[in-house]
Structure 1
Amino acid sequence: MTNPIKDLNLKDKVAVITGGGGVICSVMAKALASKGVKTAILDLKKENAEKVASDIKNAFGTESIGISANVLDRGSLEAAKQEINERLGSIDFLINGAGGNAPSATSKAERIDPADLDHLEETFFGLELEGFDKTFDLNFKGTLLPSLVFAKDMVLKQNGGIVNISSMNSYRPLTKIPAYSASKAAINNFTQWLAVHFAKTGVRVNAIAPGFLLTNQNRFLLIDEKTGEATPRGHKIINGTPMERYGTPEELTGALIFLLSDWSEFITGIVIPIDGGFSAYSGV
């Protein structure tokens, strides 16, 4: 008797993962490798990319290569594509994981207090345009340019999938980080636009929007380094998340595999929140 459940159809496909040397995207790459996907790990730091690729080959026995590439430099991405095509073959999947925020696009104050108007430099009025440019470039252009380069293989063979990494900030912007929140909202819009543009080619474009994950980058913004207790901002996050905990990078991988597999072949143009219920909760 044949299995009525469609096969994932991932084995021996080729996936490009930008930002692949980081914690979150390296976990995503390993999850794909566990399903037999050949992975190209792209990162600004070649040693980080090669370390992840080596770990993948040792753990799963699947092909993986680490490449230095800048998601804001089309020439760098074209060179990476040529190497990927030569070493792994035609590209099937793209995970746009590179991203980040700039301190100069972050306000010190959460809100303007009318009783403290002598310190407007700590509010919206102290933000620097350079920080906005840097944040938008990394998050939005860092999604746009890899799509321009790596999606061409998919369109030509009329099959493939792109998964962009958005954020819950795109739906409910956090205080202090307007540039990051707005740039992630732009990724949502671009995901929908590109999904429509590619709809007849067999290439699907979707995104996942992580909620709050505890990473090395934000750990001491959310947990007091001396006491181990939650900071005031950490308390707000936990209180606003119905599951009352932070997520883990591993908890993003189920949606990723689903969106790239044949199980979702009629799904395009969506953004899936993976947020412990944050987006569903009004606080009351």
Structure 2
Amino acid sequence: MNILERFSLKGKVIVVTGGTGILGKAFIKALAESGAKICIIGRSQEKADERVKMVETLGAEALAVVADVMDEDSVRKAKEQILAKWDTIDGLVNAAGGNIPGATIGPNDDLFDNKIGDTIKAIELNLYGTIVPTLVFGEVIAKQGKGSIINISSLAASLPITRVLGYTVAKHGVEGFTKWMATELALRYGDKVRVNAIAPGVFLTEQNRTLLTNPDGSYTERAGRFVQGTPFSRLGDPSELEGTLVYLLSDASAFVSGETIFVDGGFNSWCGV
């Protein structure tokens, strides 16, 4: 198999949770262009159907499934739908997650007056929302003896990012879970079952544009701090995650497992001087 063939995802069945989200859209586009068959999982049938149409315009095949990644029964039903259509699962991208507004501690808020319930919800969404799909869909991958799982970590799991307590705790958990699952799956099911993570930097999207930029297009104070801490001196674009995603799902990364790849313009590497 030559190097181009090793990067191919043609015909592989890839499940994407959070497939109706901003980063999920970039992931799905990359997978479609790579020839994969994609199961798009989200909580909105309408949005999932829109993503299916996008995939089909790119010449690939897709399935929209509505499921809650924190509900085991819901995820198991999704698995049965996928297996009924394609009879296998070759890859999983755990893209469901994000912060919860009530879990964000404002700069002028009392640190100990935060909404504990919302903080816990943020932990559950990002951590449990990764663990549940991995254990359900990952069983198919493990028992067939080949496949790749990708979790979504964050800069917050490496360097403290203020205000987002629940999100930070959850992403640390995702890092630990990634390493633990990579180890256990390899020891029990062999060297062709892999688990890795991608840690995105700060990406400018339509969803967060008003939070990161002012009406005149300049960066907000918080966005400016991220840019100042990034050697590339800019925010990222979701499309810049696509190459790393395809690499980790493909046979080109056959000896890579338990790792987190930062896609952050050098943010995690720089001390600021």
- Sort the TM-score into its range (normalised by shorter chain): over 0.9
**Structure 2 residue aligned with 1:20:** 19
**Structure 1 residue aligned with 2:237:** 248
**Structure 1 residue aligned with 2:199:** 209
1:68-109 Cα shifts (integer Å, max 9, x gaps)? 110011111111111111112211100000001122221111
Whole-Å separation in 1 of the counterparts to 2:223 and 2:9: 38
Whole-Å separation in 1 of the counterparts to 2:50 and 2:4: 36
Q: Residues 4 and 177 of structure 1: is their aligned pair in 2 closer, same or farther, counting only changes over 3 Å?
A: closer
For 2:34, give the aligned amino acid: K
**Structure 2 residue aligned with 1:116:** none
**Structure 2 residue aligned with 1:42:** 41
**Structure 2 residue aligned with 1:198:** 185
Match of 1:62 among 25, 42, 60: 60
1:19-74 Cα shifts (integer Å, max 9, x gaps)? 00112112111211111110000001111111101110122x22101111100111
Partner of 2:106, secondary structure, is coil
TM-score by length of 1: 0.91
Q: Does 1:153 pair with 2:140?
A: yes
For 1:12, give the aligned amino acid: G
Kindly report structure 1 stretches of 4+ aligned residues shifted beyond 3 Å: 2-6
Match of 1:108 among 106, 110, 115: 106
For 1:141, give the aligned amino acid: Y
Whole-Å separation in 2 of the counterparts to 1:134 and 1:251: 29
For 2:167, give the aligned amino acid: Y
Report how far residue 281 of structure 1 moved: 1.2
Contact 1:21–1:48 (Cα < 8 Å) also in 2 = yes
Whole-Å separation in 1 of the counterparts to 2:213 and 2:50: 29
1:159-196 Cα shifts (integer Å, max 9, x gaps)? 00000011111111211111111211110110000000
The alignment yields a C-alpha RMSD, in angstroms, of: 1.4
Q: Does 1:126 pair with 2:124?
A: no
Whole-Å separation in 2 of the counterparts to 1:134 and 1:27: 26
Match of 2:255 among 261, 266, 277: 266
**Structure 2 residue aligned with 1:238:** 227
For 2:272, give the aligned amino acid: G
Report how far residue 8 of structure 1 moved: 2.4
Q: Residues 4 and 57 of structure 1: is their aligned pair in 2 closer, same or farther, counting only changes over 3 Å?
A: closer
Q: Give the share of equivalent positions with the same residue, in percent.
A: 40
Contact 2:201–2:264 (Cα < 8 Å) also in 1 = yes
**Structure 2 residue aligned with 1:91:** 89
**Structure 1 residue aligned with 2:158:** 171
Contact 1:14–1:89 (Cα < 8 Å) also in 2 = no
Point out the structure with max Rg over C-alpha: 1
Partner of 1:283, secondary structure, is coil
Report how far residue 11 of structure 1 moved: 1.2
Question: When the two structures are aligned, how many residues end up with a matched partner?
Answer: 270
For 1:28, give the aligned amino acid: F
Partner of 1:259, secondary structure, is helix
Report how far residue 210 of structure 1 moved: 0.2
**Structure 1 residue aligned with 2:124:** 137
Report how far residue 9 of structure 1 moved: 4.4
**Structure 2 residue aligned with 1:228:** 217
Q: Residues 4 and 49 of structure 1: is their aligned pair in 2 closer, same or farther, counting only changes over 3 Å?
A: closer
Whole-Å separation in 2 of the counterparts to 1:269 and 1:102: 28
TM-score by length of 2: 0.95
Report how far residue 217 of structure 1 moved: 3.0
Q: Does 1:183 pair with 2:187?
A: no
Report how far residue 130 of structure 1 moved: 0.5
Partner of 1:100, secondary structure, is coil
